[in-house]
Amino acid sequence: MKHYQILIIGGGTAGITLAAQLMRKDKSLKLAIIEPSDKHYYQPAWTLVGAGTFDFKDTERDEADYIPKGVEWIKDKATAINPEANQVSTVNAGDFTYDYLIPVPGLVMAPELLPGLPEALDKGVVCSNYTDPEHTWEVLQNFKGGNAVFTQPTTPIKCGGAPQKIMYMAEEYFRKSGVRDKTNVLFATPGTVIFGVPDFAKTLNKIIFDRNILFKPFYAPIKIDPIKQEITFRYSKPGESNCTIMEGNPLGEEMVGAMDINIHYDMLHLAPPQTAPKFIRDSKISIQEGPGKGWVDVDIHTMQHLRYPNIFSLGDVAFLPTAKTGAAIRKQAPILVENLLKMIQSGKLGEHSYDGYSSCPIVTGYSKMVLCEFKYDNERASDPIITKFVDTTKEQYSMWLLKKYGLPFMYWNLMLRGKA
């Protein structure tokens, strides 16, 4: 059975960034990455692909080109983690043991958690930038008016802002293509507000009002009927025992019982429900009960596992009360790296601490973006350099350029090389 000093599960943003930073700090580390995929994707650009302003091919690279020098690539899928035996199992390559484990496999799409979605997704007028952004672009181009519904599930998702980014871009596209005056644009969310940080919510609420976008909070999608082109939402406002449909009812909403609402869609874009991979959920390293059930049980500041001190995690599968974004990984990775290396060298955990920083670049049109940055407790955070020049709470053309050109360059050339 092969043994590694550090074993990383997952060769996505988190896994490659960590491996690159670790090898830059200490080339003598015996390190391996378990990752089955040949291709690596820059997923933040999929919003732009879905709106027809970025080429899908440009979001794809060969995984082999980004595995850092000196790191062994186990091209296989992890199937189980046994933290007591310090052992990871794979489909074909057998079992591996480790001194330190970093499980960062990312999320998996779980459309089966929303009845009707597996039959509907990526076909006809139902689309998702999370699974097939090129299909989203086809749907936008074919749309001739009616109800354009944008929504998200009750599960945690990658980049919580993505379901509304495509909605803003679609709304602008409908104006350009001449169908906006016969279209209802609806953003329905199980959440309570358009965005959790008040400074940014103020800007987004104004955009929604000015552009006549219908916003429905407390709308949790519970099923889809692909034949009738209907989506059913459950009104989830705490303390409410029934729901009333507003006067005028431009969407043609229909009550079903006390709390459920049917809405016909002429196009539907949604983020599918998402979970941690099964081998994470089934392992003892995940939280067994309560709100964090199924997510990796780490200290939210040090990234060290709360029960197994030789395990660290970050990114999408870690139970951290912040948005699951690449920007969060960029700030989490150096903390984990420093704390882990100190532990390897001295047996004591390093003292570096993560404050919950994440950012969500909310594209609000074809040349505008609001750079939403925040940390734990929905407290606004801002890059000191950017804020010298730009008010990031407002829509900015410069931030759009950052999203379309700056961030992809930084991702491929700096972040995945362990330099940013």
pLDDT tens digit sequence for 141-165: 999 999 999 999 999 999 999 999 9
Q: How far apart are CA 236 and CA 256, in angstroms?
A: 14
For 301-343, the pLDDT digits (tens) are 999 999 999 999 999 999 999 999 999 999 999 999 999 999 9
Record the tokens describing residue 88, joined without a space: 């990871």
Confidence grade of residue 247 (pLDDT, cut at 50, 70, 90): low
pLDDT greater than 70 at residue 246: no
So what's the pLDDT on residue 332? 98
Whether CATH 3.50.50.60 fits 2-107+276-353+406-417? yes
Which is the catalytic residue, given 127, 159, 243, 372? 159
Nearest C-alpha neighbor of 72 from the set 25, 115, 30, 10: 30
Average pLDDT, the chain: 96
Concerning whether 360 is annotated as a catalytic residue, the answer is yes
Which is the catalytic residue, given 127, 243, 360, 372? 360
Residue 388, burial from CB neighbour count under 10 angstroms (0-12, 13-18, 19+) = exposed
Share of residues in the chain with pLDDT > 90 (%): 92
Kindly state the average pLDDT of the residues 106-120.
98
Q: Is the dihedral of CA 41, 42, 44, 50 positive or negative?
A: negative
Pinpoint the residues of the chain covered by CATH 3.50.50.60: 2-107+276-353+406-417, 109-273
Domain 109-273, second-level architecture? 3-Layer(bba) Sandwich (3.50)
**DSSP bridge partners of 123:** 126
Record the tokens describing residue 302, joined without a space: 């040090």
Number of helices (H), then strands (E), in the chain: 11, 22
Kindly state the average pLDDT of the residues 134-144.
98
